Amino acid sequence: MQLLEHFKELTLHPKNAEELKGLILQLAVQGKLTRQWRITNRPELNSKELLEVIKVGKIKVLRESNVKSEKPIKDFDLSEVKFDLPENWVWVRFASAAYICRGGSPRPINNFITDDPDGINWIKIGDTKGVLKYIEECGEKIIPEGLKMSRLVVPGDFILSNSMSFGKPYIMRTTGCIHDGWLLIREVKEAINKDFLYHLLSSPYVYGSFKDSAAGGVVQNLNIEKVRQTLIPLPPLEEQKAIVAIVNQLFAEVEQLEAMTKERIQLKADFVTSALNQLTQATEQDTASQWAFLQQHFGTFFTEKENIKKLREGILQLAVQGKLTRDWRAIRQAQGIPIEHASTLLAKIKAEKEELIKEKKIKKEKPLPEISQEEIPYELPDGWVWCRMGEITTLITDGKHGNCQDEHDSGYYFLSAKDVQKGKLLYDRARQINFKEFSEVHQRTNLEPGDLCIVNTGATVGKTAIALDNELTRKSTFQKSVAVVKILHQFLHIRYLENFIINQTPKLLKKSGGSAINNLLLGDMKRIITPLPPLDEQKAIVEKVNSLMALCDKLEQEIETHQTTQEEWMQSCLREVVEG
């Protein structure tokens, strides 16, 4: 059996653990876990005798529940049966083997809630938070008068949620009342082992049957009559106990392997965090050796996407520290190739901005504060300088703080955060507005080829895209959720600035914290201190970052390939369970 052959490998990914448990339960309810047991053991009852025990036991359950009559149970034929059963197993309607009824709710419920410690437990869906199997306590109580309009449950009863997270079974270990969001199930104890029933109700087969019969759209609800008429497979009682023992053993192994997997993943994450911290904090002379050490462990420690994300972040941090281009600077120096100091570059940018202000092509902005020694986070390489981002940009603005009138097929686009994805501006779902309103907003953003667009609010804050040189760019403006950054391209590489902003986004978000919504504030962006390398080194940094990001892409692809293999194994196991 493939499931057991690949058992250990399949647990190497945490998300597989629950799927494995589901497969184990499916094998259990089909009798495939107890093939060997049946060879060496004979049940006390055959299938005909088992059905008689169920019939007599159901009468007893109804009598003990003070139920005089219930709706009839339908006959069934082989067309309803989903799989073959082993010898001495039987198919029965669920209601043939258990009393099933709906809870009840006294209304208005607030008139029945009490703080009296002697009140009756009021079992709500919220009481199952963190509960796997047994309900032992609840948060509220009702007065005794509420019992007349509700349903009493006692220790040993099953309750099944029939709305919201429907179909999840629980076993009561306390007495209380249930509302109409629950179903009460009292099984025939002479024919059904309680733990077996719990596993049966948790199995993909039964849950799938419930799901197929559930009514509703977004919120699905179980129809009690369809639950009653659901076909369930029942083995002899002794085999049920054997199934429970095997399932518990396999579950314990899955959980042990899952815990080991999570521990291994955490150890890898801790190693990656530590190694990247050492790398970004290393002296310029030690960076190469630290990077070489990290590279030796790529295949071992970068097998989770979260670690690849950390690696990308580390690469950008090394980039803006000048540590990726240490060799580049050394080679230029050895060859006697002059490198223009970044202070000269900064002076050129300031002079050009002043000229543009005189020509009224850009607006003069408020002076930015001088950089204090306390603000400087690390030492820069020779030839670099610190500056404020506002000093090296000609505009940092956002889109319209308000709405525009849509006009289908106008050809003028009103982009928002959702249209900035994977480094591109996307137009397939973009709004279009009339030319007059576009012209008004365009005066604010004036998007041009090479401008940097940044999502500055919401769930995708920090996503970036660089405007392309095409007609769409000239016909695009933005809502306030996107910021636009303009630079003097002859002095600054836009990809270098993009890498710096991506690197700094987490810090900028912390600085502008306090709101439930993530925001990148324009003022913070203008004031953030920025490491400025010489222009040629900016280009070298961008090339190095692109090369290393391609390596990260490759590592991620290897992870996806491995996950696909595991998913194929899982699907193969599932087919074997369903078809075999």
Structure tokens at 64: 């003990």
The answer on pLDDT for 5 being more than 90 is no
- List Cβ neighbours of 95 (8 Å cut-off, separation of 6 or more): 70, 73, 228, 229
Whole-angstrom Cα Rg for the chain: 33
Q: Cα separation of 307 and 438, whole Å?
A: 43
Q: CA triplet 333, 334, 337: central angle to 5 degrees?
A: 50
Q: Cα separation of 310 and 289, whole Å?
A: 19
- List Cβ neighbours of 237 (8 Å cut-off, separation of 6 or more): 43, 44, 45, 190, 191, 192, 193
- Decide: pTM greater than 0.75: no
Kindly state the average pLDDT of the residues 514-542: 89
Q: What is the pLDDT of residue 184?
A: 96
* Domain 45-235: assigned CATH number: 3.90.220.20
Counting Cβ atoms within 10 Å, is residue 477 exposed (0-12), middle (13-18) or buried (19+)?
A: buried
Structure tokens at 84: 């073959």
Peptide bond into 338 cis (omega under 30): no
Strand locations in 426-534 (E): 431-432, 452-455, 464-466, 476-478, 482-487, 529-532
pLDDT averaged over every residue in the chain: 87
Decide the pairing of beta strands 464-466 and 452-455: antiparallel
What would the pLDDT profile of 151-171 be if each residue is shown by its tens digit? 999 999 999 988 666 788 999
Helix, strand, coil shares, percent, the chain, to 5: 50, 15, 35
Q: What is the dihedral of CA 343, 349, 353, 355, to 10 degrees?
A: 90
The answer on pLDDT for 267 being more than 60 is yes
Give 274-333 as a DSSP string: HHHHHHHHS-TTTHHHHHHHHHHTHHHH--SHHHHHHHHHHHHHHHHHT-TTHHHHHHHH
Number of other residues whose CB lies within 10 A of the CB of residue 184:
21
Structure tokens at 569: 């194994």
Q: Cα separation of 319 and 311, whole Å?
A: 12
Number of other residues whose CB lies within 10 A of the CB of residue 261:
16
Q: What is the pLDDT of residue 556?
A: 86
What are residue 123's DSSP bridge partners? 178
CB 11 within 8 A of CB 17: yes
Q: What is the pLDDT of residue 15?
A: 61
The amino acid sitting at 197 is: L
Q: Cα separation of 347 and 96, whole Å?
A: 88
Number of helices (H), then strands (E), belonging to the chain: the values are 21, 23
Q: What is the pLDDT of residue 222?
A: 78
Q: Cα separation of 103 and 526, whole Å?
A: 61
* Domain 340-533: assigned CATH number: 3.90.220.20
The amino acid sitting at 445 is: T
Q: What is the pLDDT of residue 578?
A: 47
The answer on pLDDT for 569 being more than 70 is no
Sign of the torsion angle spanned by Cα atoms 461, 464, 467, 472: negative
The answer on pLDDT for 187 being more than 90 is yes
Q: What is the pLDDT of residue 78?
A: 83
Number of other residues whose CB lies within 10 A of the CB of residue 386:
16
The answer on pLDDT for 176 being more than 90 is yes
Domain residue ranges in the chain: 1-27+244-335+539-580, 45-235, 340-533
Kindly state the average pLDDT of the residues 527-550: 94
Closest C-alpha among 253, 231, 223 to residue 29 = 231
The answer on pLDDT for 279 being more than 70 is no
Choose between 5 and 417: higher pLDDT: 417
Number of other residues whose CB lies within 10 A of the CB of residue 79:
5
Q: What is the pLDDT of residue 22?
A: 87
Q: What phi and psi, each to the nearest 5 degrees, are found at residue 302?
A: -105, 60
Say whether 340-533 and 45-235 share the same fold: yes
CB 188 within 8 A of CB 98: yes
Kindly state the average pLDDT of the residues 320-348: 93
Decide the pairing of beta strands 134-135 and 169-172: parallel
Counting Cβ atoms within 10 Å, is residue 439 exposed (0-12), middle (13-18) or buried (19+)?
A: exposed
Instruction: Kindly state the percentage of the chain with pLDDT values over 90.
Output: 64
Q: What phi and psi, each to the nearest 5 degrees, are found at residue 285?
A: -70, -30
Q: Cα separation of 121 and 428, whole Å?
A: 55
Q: Cα separation of 452 and 463, whole Å?
A: 11
What would the pLDDT profile of 386-420 be if each residue is shown by its tens digit? 999 999 999 999 999 999 999 999 999 999 999 99
Choose between 423 and 1: higher pLDDT: 423
Closest C-alpha among 167, 173, 165, 156 to residue 200 = 167
